[in-house]
């Protein structure tokens, strides 16, 4: 999935609203003990907490950079699939001829052969995106988060979760090819294997000369390479030791922030009281209000503490939700839309009939 507009601030707040309430509530508890119960010892020095916060910021940045690198590499891989698919179609269109054929094909037969090769490639694209949308154990905990479940149920639904692969791929394969593909494991690899075998048959019939046959085989090797790169990202997660420790460090910092920030606001309140005494303006309503606020200035630490906690937690959550670019999140690589775009493009190149329509966007999100 991929959102094509800037994610609104209201969406971020709605996505993290439960944690905002949690941080506000948690920041209130130590302030009550510090100010009302007069537990003035209940604080953490800000200097070591600042050092901890700096270290956590570096760790979060490292994870987010690594997650973005995985996302960007996945997008480059599918950009390569787009370009290679067009190149493959041009080869099918121009390399298969009757020039050296042992038995000449009429126009209808020639068009059928080219249509078969292009449709089989569309079947490979379909099987590959279904393979990449499969759930992995390290992805399940992310999908299980309540905020993510709500977003998916109300605003988006993966196409691959709705329509089975068998229904989607059957129109592009012959009955024998369909049975062969679904009798084995890695379906995209099997489809490329069938494609290679079919090229050899066409070469033996003289419909493809030697050099062109080699070029088309090299293109199949390129498809295998791009598929392997996609599977590498899909099957190898961001190292869990980094992800788990990063999560723990962020929460340790969040739990300590309210205790470290209270004393700083208490000091600010004391400075305000000293300033009021210096001006010696007493008895007015404004003075009494200012004095009251100064004596309880520590309560202003609550929103600031919640803000700091929210920023660190949200940055950690962004990295966590970006590290698997094929699982079907709202900001993942839109492989469903890319597959349909490629299909439309290459079928038009061979003047095919019944060109499908692009997938519709829902809630500004394209799959």
pLDDT for 2 equals: 41
pLDDT surpasses 80 at 360: no
pLDDT for 292 equals: 76
pLDDT for 361 equals: 63
Residue 99 dihedral angles phi and psi, to the nearest 5°? -60, -40
pLDDT surpasses 60 at 284: yes
Residues 6+ apart with CB under 8 A from 235: 136
pLDDT surpasses 70 at 4: no
pLDDT tier at 148 (50, 70, 90 boundaries)?
A: low
- Provide the β-strand partners of residue 365: 3, 362
pTM of the entire predicted model: 0.83
pLDDT surpasses 60 at 363: no
pLDDT surpasses 80 at 93: yes
pLDDT surpasses 80 at 20: yes
Rounded to an integer, the average pLDDT of 12-18 is: 81
How do residues 235-252 score in pLDDT, each as one tens digit? 988 887 788 888 999 999
Residue 157, classed as helix, strand or coil, is coil
How do residues 59-73 score in pLDDT, each as one tens digit? 999 999 999 999 999
Q: Over the chain, what is the mean pLDDT?
A: 86
Tokens standing for 322?
Answer: 């970006």
pLDDT surpasses 50 at 5: no
Report whether 316 contacts 59 (CB < 8 A): no
How do residues 169-211 score in pLDDT, each as one tens digit? 999 999 999 999 999 889 999 999 999 999 999 999 999 999 9
Residue 8 dihedral angles phi and psi, to the nearest 5°? -65, 150
Q: H helices then E strands: how many in the chain?
A: 15, 2
Rounded to an integer, the average pLDDT of 49-54 is: 91
Q: How far is residue 75 from each of residues 69, 136, 320, 335, measured CA to CA in Å?
A: 10, 20, 18, 9
Neighbours of 14 (CB within 10 A): 14
pLDDT surpasses 50 at 1: no
Query: What is the DSSP track for 183-224?
Result: TSS-HHHHHHHHHHHHHHHHHHTTSS-HHHHHHHHHHHHHHH
pLDDT for 295 equals: 80
Query: Rounded to an integer, what distance in angstroms lies between the CA atom of residue 63 and that of residue 60?
Result: 5
pLDDT surpasses 90 at 280: no
Query: Rounded to an integer, what distance in angstroms lies between the CA atom of residue 24 and that of residue 45?
Result: 21
Query: Rounded to an integer, what distance in angstroms lies between the CA atom of residue 339 and that of residue 131?
Result: 13
pLDDT for 45 equals: 87
pLDDT tier at 6 (50, 70, 90 boundaries)?
A: very low
Report the residue count for the chain: 367
Tokens standing for 343?
Answer: 């299909």
Neighbours of 271 (CB within 10 A): 11
Rounded to an integer, the average pLDDT of 119-147 is: 81
How do residues 287-339 score in pLDDT, each as one tens digit? 677 777 778 888 899 999 999 999 999 999 888 888 889 988 777 889 999 99
Query: Rounded to an integer, what distance in angstroms lies between the CA atom of residue 169 and that of residue 149?
Result: 28
Residues 6+ apart with CB under 8 A from 311: none
pLDDT for 283 equals: 59
Report whether 226 contacts 158 (CB < 8 A): no
Residue with tokens 């003035």: 40
Residue 77 dihedral angles phi and psi, to the nearest 5°? -60, -45
User: What is the four-CA torsion angle of 331, 336, 342, 343, rounded to 10 degrees?
Assistant: -160
pLDDT for 248 equals: 92
Residue 95 dihedral angles phi and psi, to the nearest 5°? -85, -25
Q: What percent of the chain has pLDDT over 90?
A: 53
How do residues 22-42 score in pLDDT, each as one tens digit? 999 999 999 999 888 888 888
pLDDT for 254 equals: 94
Please name which of 361, 357, 304, 342 lies closest in space to residue 123, comparing C-alpha atoms.
342
pLDDT for 85 equals: 96
pLDDT surpasses 50 at 46: yes
Q: How do the domains of the chain map onto residue ranges? A: 2-366
């Amino acid at each position: 999935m991929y959102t094509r507009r800037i994610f609104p601030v209201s969406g971020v707040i709605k996505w993290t609203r439960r944690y905002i309430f949690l941080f506000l509530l948690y920041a209130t508890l130590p302030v009550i003990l510090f100010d009302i119960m007069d537990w003035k010892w209940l604080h953490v020095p800000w200097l070591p907490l600042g050092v901890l916060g700096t270290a956590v910021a570096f760790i979060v940045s490292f994870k987010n950079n690594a997650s973005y690198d995985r996302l960007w590499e996945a997008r480059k891989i599918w950009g390569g699939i787009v370009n290679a698919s067009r190149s493959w179609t041009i080869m099918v269109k121009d390399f298969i001829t009757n020039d050296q054929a042992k038995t000449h094909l009429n126009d209808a037969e020639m068009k059928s052969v080219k249509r078969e090769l292009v449709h089989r490639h569309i079947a490979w694209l379909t099987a590959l995106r279904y393979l990449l949308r499969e759930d992995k154990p390290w992805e399940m905990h992310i999908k299980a988060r309540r905020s993510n479940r709500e977003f998916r149920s109300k605003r988006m639904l993966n196409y691959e979760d709705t329509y089975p692969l068998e229904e989607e791929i059957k129109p592009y394969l012959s009955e024998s090819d369909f049975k062969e593909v679904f009798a084995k494991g890695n379906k995209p690899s099997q489809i490329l294997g069938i494609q290679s075998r079919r090229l050899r048959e066409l070469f033996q019939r003289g419909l493809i000369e030697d050099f062109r046959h080699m070029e088309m085989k090299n293109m199949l090797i390129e498809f295998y390479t791009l598929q392997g790169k996609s599977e590498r990202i899909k099957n190898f997660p961001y190292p869990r030791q980094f992800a788990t420790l990063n999560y723990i460090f962020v929460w340790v910092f969040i739990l300590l922030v309210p205790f470290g920030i209270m004393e700083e606001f208490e000091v600010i309140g004391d400075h305000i009281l000293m300033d009021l005494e210096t001006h010696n303006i007493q008895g007015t309503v404004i003075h009494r209000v200012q004095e009251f606020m100064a004596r309880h200035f520590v309560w202003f630490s609550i929103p600031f503490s919640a803000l700091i906690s929210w920023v660190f937690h949200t940055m950690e959550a962004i990295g966590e939700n970006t590290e698997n670019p094929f699982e079907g999140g709202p900001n993942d690589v839109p492989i469903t839309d890319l597959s349909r775009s490629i299909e439309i493009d290459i079928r038009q190149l061979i003047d095919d009939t019944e060109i499908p329509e692009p997938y519709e966007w829902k809630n500004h999100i394209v799959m």
